[in-house]
Amino acid sequence: MEKKVCVEENKVSVWCIVSMASIPLVMTLGNSMLIPILPIFEDKVGITSFQSSMVITSYSISSIFLIPVAGYLSDKFGRKKVILPALIIALIGGLIAGFASWKLDQPFTWIIIGRVLQGIGASGASPIILPLVGDLYKDDDEKTSSSLGIIETSNTFGKVLSPILGSLFAAFLWYLPFFSISFFSLISIILVFFFIKVPKEKEEPKKFKEFVSITRKTFKQEGRWLYTVFLLGAYVMLILFAMLFFLSDSLEIIHQLKGVKKGFIIAIPLFLLCISSYVSGRKIKGSLPLMKKLIIGCLILMSVSIVFVGYVKARLILLLVVTSLVGIAIGALLPTLDAMITENIEKDERGTISSFYSSARFFGVGLGPPLMSILMKNYLNISYIASGVIGLIILLIVMKFIHTENADEHA
């Protein structure tokens, strides 16, 4: 009797959803788990704040350029055939970074090499989930939105767990978080191998020249709203990771909070981000007008709230309130942006287009920590005010280029 896997009579099994959700969870843990323990790295390895931020950025930079390639390969050869090798590379990267931290006197270079490999693994794993969900649910926009909400919630839940687990692991051994990333990757590999079965393709994959031509045509026809969504993805992730980097630093320096206690404090705005993401994914149900209203509301909330982060840094409760408001706005935005990409692009181009979107998000992730490490000493309040102004400018771009009068004509 054949095992019940991912697709059976047009239904998606619970274990398939769990397997898909494990991938963004693992990739998020692979990055966010290190943010609260960067000060420990600085002390143990003897590096500066900017160098420690590169532990996060190196992961993201290697992903930015390879994600579109992974998207094309997944369109051509299949989602699962790209995801599994990518997870294995991420596992190897964690082992290299962990072993170097354990055994070498000067491990920084090898830590960065391990992080680059993890980024390469991330480029072939997380972004492929968005088009995979679209493949499984075909033309059912409501189920697609709901499933994407679960996937994005898994991503954000990983952000909630990350500071707690990272601080907890580092309390035992400062380099243990690197090894734990490999362990979590192994679990995801097992789940994907046994429980994800993608639908069989009836058509031959397109040749590269044809693929480039179709992709160019897609951007020509849908470019205005696509570039707007890409810009939004980069902006919200830059704000999130810059804010988390600052929060980690200020909790330790200003409020004298360290270790697991610090991890739990950082998890508070991330927990609200997670709840917001889940609710948003359940509510949008493929409705483009609702998506646009949600984007506008979230951008206003985030742009106004982010301005006050620097001003309330010395008052812990107010700091958590403000960062939580930013987290709620970002949490509601993420599944909305995912759904816009997945539901409004044809299946043949879905992997590639969603990969460009994921690259934009990784660009924000990679830029946030080093930018904040440079600005927070002398230009903290100015940087947050500028972030709010940029958010309002993006709001105007959204209102101009994302149209809902005819949902079938996305721009």
Q: Taking the CA of residue 363 as centre, how many other CA atoms within 13 Å lie in the half-sphere pointing to its CB?
A: 17
pLDDT band at 347 (very low <50, low <70, confident <90, very high): low
Task: State the average pLDDT for the chain.
Answer: 85
pLDDT(9) > 80:
no
At 409 the pLDDT is: 44
What does the pLDDT look like over 154-199, one tens digit per residue? 877 888 888 899 999 998 898 999 999 899 999 999 999 998 877 6
| Domains located in the chain, CATH noted | 13-401 (1.20.1250.20)
Nearest to 403 by CA among 314, 297, 288: 288
What does the pLDDT look like over 238-264, one tens digit per residue? 999 999 999 999 998 999 998 889 999
**Helix, strand or coil, per DSSP, at residue 344:** coil
Q: What mean pLDDT do residues 378-389 have? A: 95
Rounded Cα distance, 276 and 335, in Å: 10
To the question of pTM greater than 0.85 for the whole model, the response is no
Contact 358, 122 (CB under 8 A): no
- Non-local (6+) Cβ contacts of 103 within 8 A are none
Six-digit token pair at 296?
């506008």
Six-digit token pair at 299?
């951008």
Helical H segments across 288-346, by residue range: 288-306, 316-343
Contact 124, 257 (CB under 8 A): no
Contact 157, 25 (CB under 8 A): yes
At 356 the pLDDT is: 84
